[in-house]
Structure 1
Amino acid sequence: MNLFERLKADAAPQWADYTEHEFVRQLGDGTLPLECFKHYLVQDYLFLIQFARAYALGIYKSPTVADMRNSLEGVKAILDVELELHIELCGSWGMPREEIESAPEDTPTMAYTRFVLDAGMAGDLLDLQAALAPCVIGYAEIGARLVREGRAVDSNPYRRWIEEYSSDAYQVLARDFAAWMDATADHVLTESRYPRVLSLFEKASRLESDFWQMGLNAK
């Protein structure tokens, strides 16, 4: 069992609340109100800006050049791929980049992003990875599950989102992140330290649930 699978098993209630949230169910069904998805997507864009900064912090916290390159790939994936997906979707509603970037951060967005940055600032690379993992790997799990369930149909207005996070490219990114976290853990994780890493993972998972709920509350 790799570190991510161990964390996921030990944080099972928090993980289920996050990955099986009502927001996810409605998104998969295509019944999520558009205003909820719009609010989520704008806030997720703002979230990803801070997430890119967290990956950039990972460069500073990296003990090896290989780790620095992994952190850099995370920054590039956000700036070159994920943010552009959000611009594409928001643009289809007539919302330009400038309007998205000038939107105010909602409280759950601030809480989650500052938590991740603080975890990285206060700890080492493994602490940062534990705080990043629920987002990075969780979206891959959700996207893959929705495809298996047949949710990425033409009639689903959120098919583009599902296709992005179920794509081969994103699935590889998530697997690579889990392997990277394992490699870090091989060098620094001890059993006495594990509860702290688990606590970070649990908190990040709870904050993911709060992020979905923020979207639902927008209706």
Structure 2
Amino acid sequence: MVQAWETEFGAEGGLFRRLRAEAATDWQAYTWHDFVRRLSDGTLPLAAFRDFLIQDYLFLIHFARAQALAVFKAESLAAMRQKSGSIAAILEETALHLGYCAEWGIAEATVRATPESAETVSYTRYVIDRGLAGDILDLEVALAPCTVGYGEVALRILADPNRMLQGNPYQSWIEAYAAPAYQALARGAAARIDALGESHGGSARFPLLAATFGEAARLEQRFWQQGLDAAG
């Protein structure tokens, strides 16, 4: 049976769905990682979530840098404007993220003093490296597992029969990514991959793009796993 999240992002026959299908095993391991399942059923250790929040803040800083690179690599003035808006939104999100960390008992000083984990370094630098080495399509494909993947994660949680519906400590996080605004952002990112695939020779470059997408999905898995490892 086809699940809702399989048809929510990207067009049938488009580049995004082709990439997702090619990386199906790694994509499944990422979007339904044990960390995600335990977010859904409310059993994730608090220590794991706190570690994730800190590293996610550090990730956001480099995500903004990757979007700045996307401005430089953008194929049009309209794309440059759109990406400039994304940078502003991410920088605003970093401030909101610190506030969210405070709600979980993590002081701003603690967040800022925490070094990047090896998983955070490897993922963020991989994305930026693909952007530096390639063109805007290479960069957007490296970014898509994060942007679109979190949208799919939210849909999977909403459909989970084991989801904790009352008293889930992670409900606000789930709601943030299930919200219409984020879902629209994720759909837009998948549509952009499809459009760039048409304009930038995605079919001819598919093997390399698929390798990039698959590696980004694997790095996302490791990002979840570091939180579980931190909890012991």
TM-score computed with the length of structure 2 as normaliser: 0.89
From 90, 99, 124, give the equivalent of 1:78: 90
How far off is 1:179 after superposition? 1.4
Which residue is equivalent to 1:170? Answer: 182
From 95, 98, 119, give the equivalent of 2:106: 95
How far off is 1:84 after superposition? 4.1
The gaps in structure 1 that reach 5 residues or longer are none
Which residue is equivalent to 1:198? Answer: 210
From 117, 121, 138, give the equivalent of 2:128: 117
After alignment, is 208-217 or 142-151 more displaced? 142-151
Is 1:153 aligned to residue 159 of structure 2? no
User: 3-state DSSP class of the match of 2:44?
Assistant: coil
Cα shift readout 1:40-75 (whole Å, capped 9, x = no counterpart): 110011011101100110000012011112212322
Q: Once the two structures are aligned, what percentage of the paired residues are identical?
A: 47
After alignment, is 91-100 or 157-166 more displaced? 91-100
Counting only pairs closer than 5 Å after superposition, residues 1-219 of structure 1 correspond to structure 2 as 1=12, 2-81=14-93, 83-149=94-160, 151=163, 153-219=165-231
Cα shift readout 1:56-98 (whole Å, capped 9, x = no counterpart): 10000012011112212322332223x3443233111332333
**CA distance 1:13–1:127, change in 2 (3 Å):** same
Question: 8 Å contact 2:50–2:104 — kept in the other structure?
Answer: no
- The separation in 2 between residues aligned to 1:89 and 1:128, in whole angstroms, is 29
How far off is 1:152 after superposition? 6.4
Amino acid at match of 1:21: H
The gaps in structure 2 that reach 5 residues or longer are 1-11
TM-score computed with the length of structure 1 as normaliser: 0.94
Question: 8 Å contact 1:152–1:162 — kept in the other structure?
Answer: no
User: 3-state DSSP class of the match of 2:143?
Assistant: helix
Cα shift readout 1:8-43 (whole Å, capped 9, x = no counterpart): 011101101101111111111110000000001100
Amino acid at match of 2:227: G
Report runs of 4+ in structure 1 exceeding 4 Å deviation: none
- The separation in 1 between residues aligned to 2:160 and 2:105, in whole angstroms, is 31
Amino acid at match of 2:53: L
- The separation in 2 between residues aligned to 1:208 and 1:158, in whole angstroms, is 19
- The separation in 2 between residues aligned to 1:141 and 1:44, in whole angstroms, is 18
Cα shift readout 1:101-128 (whole Å, capped 9, x = no counterpart): 2210000000000000101011000000
How far off is 1:144 after superposition? 1.8
- The separation in 2 between residues aligned to 1:57 and 1:141, in whole angstroms, is 25
After alignment, is 142-151 or 63-72 more displaced? 142-151
